[in-house]
Amino acid sequence: MIESAIRDETTIVSLNGGSLGGKGRGLAFISTLIYNFDFSQIIPDINVRTPITSIIGTDEFEYFIENNDLRNKVYNERDYDTIKKIFVGAKFSDSLIQKT
């Protein structure tokens, strides 16, 4: 599967519903730019490619935040390690887990 994705130059995979957020759109733009520009015209024998990247859509992100009550759990929290533990302990949706 990875080989066909590289061969087809499809390196951005959107997981679950929703649009791409700002970072996802930026990654998709850079990927498109790289695949549509012939770098070998500037530097011979160079082959620039982007890695296969999975992006979680905004619907899945919102579900993750709300289902795990993260807004309330971290709103007033200032300790980075505590916030990190809260996020690491949070659960993704079943449909996203099945896609990984």
The total domain count for the chain is 1
- Length of the chain (residues): 100
Q: What is the pTM of this model?
A: 0.66
Per-residue confidence (pLDDT) for residue 72, from 0 to 100: 94
pLDDT tens series, the chain, 100 aa: 333 333 345 678 888 778 888 888 888 888 888 888 888 888 888 888 888 888 888 899 999 999 999 999 999 899 999 999 999 999 999 988 888 7
In order of 3, 26, 99, the CA distances from 11 in angstroms are 11, 13, 16
Domain containing residue 65? 2-99
